[in-house]
Structure 1
Amino acid sequence: MRLVAAAGLMAGAAGMAQAESSFQSGTGSLTATVAAQCMMSTAANDLNFGTVPTSAGTVTGSTAFGVTCTNGTPYYIGLLPSNGNTAGAGVMTSVANAATNTDQVPYQLRSTSGTSGTIWGNTATSTSVGNGVAGTGTGSAASYNIYGTAAVANYTPDSYQDQVVINVNY
């Protein structure tokens, strides 16, 4: 802050006196707290195994999503099928005929591709990766692929579906 003293002008027989000013300064602090934060920056599209003949054996599919976290924030991502299986093993049920079609098509979520890719489950916490996937925030979006495998056996012809929750722990 700057303080200026008011000065008056005086005229005298000897001339004009010069105005005086004074300057005082101090210090202050500015503070800010940046909190760790993560958000889904890109939602996952459906992981679609497509139209599958019952003789296909095991089928695979994939989708992707994005996560944005503050710079330097460690995070761990878990995937939880609707049946609550923390090992990423879910089941798809009939979309249109649930009352008459009780078939459940099993699937496995994975963090790497292929039928023997790394299992992706939901034992990740805010301090441990568990069977999830780890990342560190950069302030920009990071993309993650979800792979799925499903053993197709002799199931009733129908459309099958399940919901998976993506948990970002930080």
Structure 2
Amino acid sequence: MKAKIIAVGVGAAVTLSTLAAHAATDTTTFDVTISITPSCNISTAGNGAPTLAFGSHDSFQTQVTGSTNLIVTCTNGAAYQLGLNEGLNAGAAGDVNTRRMIGVSTTPDNTADYVPYQLYQDASYATVWGNTLDTNTKAATGTGAQATHTVYGRVPSTNYTVGNYQDTITATVTF
């Protein structure tokens, strides 16, 4: 009878040992990551391209003003700079200080004439808006929502040949 009890005791010990092996655990950790890269989008206010229209004026006007809006949407926290180039008809390539519109009328013919103008970052017409990073661009930080940037324009004088004039400006957002 003793032998039977020992055998039963050994069987119970094996069963307990097996249960203890299954109850043991081990753990590890792993990282969950995402990398959000800066992203920006530039668009015009409203439908289509915005026009900075100075309107119609006789040739005796000075300091004629107008404005338009650009919409920039950048990733929250993304630093960006908004620049405006010199246009297609600048007096010197790359020089935002010589912006000018060219005549586009044929009756009377003003296609060889220019009207100077300037674009500004502020309503007080103090800060010329250019396209040189960290110099004459407009710096901002994205919020993830649309940000409206108003472009202020001024024609110093309308004492030029009768007709219509235009220029094309390229706006660039660098982030």
Tell me the TM-score normalized by structure 2.
0.73
Of Structure 1 and Structure 2, which has the larger fraction of its residues in helix?
2
Match of residue 122 from structure 1: 131
For residue 105 of structure 2, the aligned residue among 96, 99, 111 is 96
Q: Which blocks of at least 5 consecutive residues in structure 1 are unaligned?
A: 1-19
Equivalent runs, 1:71-86 vs 2, <5 Å = 71-80=76-85, 81-82=87-88, 83=90, 84-86=93-95
- How many residue pairs get aligned? The number is 146
Asked if 1 retains the 8 angstrom alpha-carbon contact of 2:108 and 2:162, the reply is no
Match of residue 149 from structure 1: 154
Of Structure 1 and Structure 2, which has the larger fraction of its residues in strand?
1
For residue 34 of structure 1, the aligned residue among 21, 33, 36 is 36
| Percent of aligned pairs with the same amino acid | 37
Q: Which blocks of at least 5 consecutive residues in structure 2 are unaligned?
A: 1-18
Q: Give the deviation of 1:149 after TM superposition.
A: 0.7
Q: Give the deviation of 1:70 after TM superposition.
A: 0.8
Q: Give the deviation of 1:42 after TM superposition.
A: 3.6
Q: Give the deviation of 1:159 after TM superposition.
A: 1.0
Match of residue 107 from structure 1: 117
Tell me the TM-score normalized by structure 1.
0.75
Which of 1 and 2 has greater Rg?
Answer: 2
Asked if 1 retains the 8 angstrom alpha-carbon contact of 2:54 and 2:65, the reply is yes
Q: Determine helix, strand or coil for the equivalent of 2:38.
A: coil
Asked if 2 retains the 8 angstrom alpha-carbon contact of 1:88 and 1:122, the reply is no
Match of residue 139 from structure 1: 144
Aligned residues: CA RMSD: 2.5
Q: Give the deviation of 1:27 after TM superposition.
A: 3.6
